[in-house]
Amino acid sequence: MWLLLLLVAPCLTLKTHEPPPPVPNTRNTPSEEWLDVRLNHFMAFDTDTFKMRYYVNSEFYRSTILIFVGGEWEISPGWVTGGLGLDLARRVGATLFYTEHRFYGQTRPFNDTSVSGLRFLTVDQALADLAQFIQYIKSNDYENGRYRDAKVGLIGCSYAGSMATWMRLAYPHLVDAAFSDSGPLFAQEDFPEYLEVIAEAIRSQGGEACLNSIETSMEGLVQLLATQNGPATVSNMFNTCSTISATAPLDLATFFWYGITETFAYLVQYANPGDIPAACEVLTASGVSDPVQRLANWITSQPWTQPCIETRYSQVVENHRNTSFDSPDAVMRLWTYQTCVEFGWYQTTTSSRQPFLSTVPLEYFHEMCKDFFSSYFNEDLLRSGIDRTNIFFGGGHLPDRVVTVLGGQDPWSPMGPKAAAAHPLAPLHIVPGVSHCMAIGALDSTNITELEAVKRRVLDQMTEFLIGETMASAASSAHVSMALLAIMLAFIHV
Ligand SMILES: *[C@@H]1O[C@H](CO)[C@@H](O)[C@H](O)[C@H]1NC(C)=O
């Protein structure tokens, strides 16, 4: 039979969502619970609270608390019923919790996402929510003090991985160990490295010819858009929702970002084995002589360009100004807010080592911040917010008892910790060829040998940090492991 490959996918791109839940592997039905936490942790006299949601699976409880940290998405019970978190819970005897980040999902401090309330949407407030949560779970108020002396481990991927590392940095008395998969640790305004890694992944899995063909297609596309009937032709070829206004730079940037670079970002961040080579077959098809048509053929076949590509910047703005929690763009509004005041991380084309020319400039994102939220959210605010974030967390220092995994072809990996930051109590595993958030999947859920080996190391190291058991494979002296075996990129018969 075919072994099902459950490659866990990304967050932190345009269309953020929860990593796809793993296959359930528990007899328990998780329970949903709520805790009142402070709205503003940093003002002692302000005692307002809101309800924070979490899931619990206590099937394996003996002595430990494990928390799968929710990021910029709505939580579902899936991540307390399977995945590497549950494997670790089984091994160390832990109750597995899954916390929802303030403002995302059902954890709503206000009735809507108006800018006035978003001032409480920061990572430092979210970390303090987690701290209050841990203190509560360990108190006599929760289950008669059952967890009073429990050790606490955190697991997170992507932004939630950053949160796991930063919890250990900010609250070492509450967090005994943390595992971050693919967590960025440095805030940065312009993030050109993102598309560089996308290009590198395409080169290594799809070949140099594929990368060259994309660049040729982009050159043809830009030239075509500058001709008189070009915009109508391109709009037709790429199935845009309306005719591109080629004289409006913000509309052009919208087309190139939503339509082109984000589509490639999705390909690489989500890549299942074989996906990139399959895309490259279309992108280099010898039967289609027009390179722009080859690009259009692939772009319009992708699920995230359906039903049509929005190129009207004004429409994008209108969608993201909607302050209803039920608006389809609510999560992106919230995440964009965090990028505008705390992180940046704008995936521009400012590097020359990527095939998308200069189609998505940094100014595009500056405009978004101002237009979604107000002219107050300008570049000065962004830069001072990024400095603030890096003062809090961006020193590049890895606290002890933190295990980190980075994917060698994860476009987020340039924002992860540097190899030199690793030390024996903060091991760093770099898995070549794999993408974003791949290491939080259950043991044996992929055929990627090195990834499975790294997951086992992570379980060993977390077990050691949490309950002090030294496992055989943790005895290895290297604290940076660079997996050397070739990654198997094909489905395998079993
Ligand atoms: C905002 O989104 C909600 C939910 O989709 C919708 O009902 C409402 O009409 C939208 N508001 C505006 C002003 O477009």
pLDDT digits 0-9 by tens, 9-39: 334 454 567 888 888 888 889 999 999 999 9
Name the maximum alpha-carbon separation found in the chain: 74
Is the CB of 322 within 6 Å of ligand 1? yes
For ligand 1, whether the C-beta of 324 sits within 6 Å is yes
Where does residue 306 rank: exposed (0-12), middle (13-18), buried (19+ CB within 10 A)? exposed
State the distance from the centre of ligand 1 to the C-alpha of 333, rounded, in angstroms. Answer: 13
Whether the predicted pLDDT of 4 surpasses 50: no
DSSP state, residue 244: -
Q: What is the pLDDT of residue 270?
A: 78
Q: Is 327 in the pocket of ligand 1 (CB under 6 A)?
A: yes
344 C-alpha to center of ligand 1: Å?
27
Answer yes or no: is the C-beta of 204 below 6 A from any ligand 1 atom. no
Report the alpha-carbon angle 334-164-465, nearest 5: 170
Residue 79 per-residue DSSP state? G
Q: Which residues contact 87 (CB under 8 A, 6 or more apart)?
A: 442, 443, 459
Cα(430)–Cα(488) distance, rounded to whole angstroms? 16
Pair type for strands 49-57 and 31-38: antiparallel
Q: What's the mean per-residue pLDDT of the chain?
A: 92
Q: Residue 396 has what pLDDT?
A: 78
pLDDT digits (tens, 9 = 90+) for 220-272: 999 999 999 999 999 999 999 999 999 999 999 999 999 999 999 999 987 88
- Ligand 1 mutation target, pool 111, 324, 331, 334, most atoms within 8 A of CB: 324
Measured from the Cα of 323, ligand 1's closest atom is 1
What SS3 string covers 324-338? CCCCCCHHHHHHHHH
Q: Are 358 and 350 in contact (CB under 8 A)?
A: yes
pLDDT attached to residue 483: 55
- What CA–CA distance (Å, rounded) separates 124 from 102? 11
Of the two residues 286 and 474, the one the predictor is more confident about is 286
The rounded distance, in Å, linking the Cα atoms of 204 and 349 is 20
Match 């509450």 to its residue by tokens.
174
Pocket test for ligand 1, best of 314, 322, 323 (most atoms within 8 A of CB): 322
* N-terminal to C-terminal alpha carbon distance within the chain: 6
Q: How far apart are alpha carbons 274 and 118 in whole angstroms?
A: 41
Residue having the nearest C-alpha atom to atom 5 of ligand 1: 327
Query: What does the pLDDT average to over 121-132?
Result: 98
Please say whether the beta carbons of 102 and 52 come within 8 A. yes
pTM: 0.92
Q: Residue 213's closest CA among 298, 295, 297, 269?
A: 295
Ligand 1 pocket test target in 318, 326, 327 with most atoms within 8 Å of CB: 327
Spatial distance between the Cα atoms of 81 and 69, rounded to a whole number of angstroms: 14
C-beta of 318 in contact with ligand 1 (< 6 A): no
pLDDT tier at 485, thresholds 50, 70, 90: very low
What is the pLDDT, as a whole number, of residue 482?
A: 62
State yes or no: pLDDT of 8 exceeds 70. Answer: no
Tens digits of residue pLDDT in 321-340: 999 999 999 999 999 999 99
In this predicted model, what pLDDT tens digit does every residue of 70-85 receive, in sequence order? 999 999 999 999 999 9
| Centroid of ligand 1 to alpha carbon of 324 (angstroms) | 6
> What is the atom index within ligand 1 of the atom nearest the CA of 322?
1
- For residue 319, the CA-to-ligand 1 centroid distance in Å is 8
| Residue pLDDT, tens place only, 352-404 | 999 999 999 999 999 999 999 999 999 999 999 999 999 999 877 899 999 99
> Residue 89 has what pLDDT?
98
Tokens of 324: 């209803």
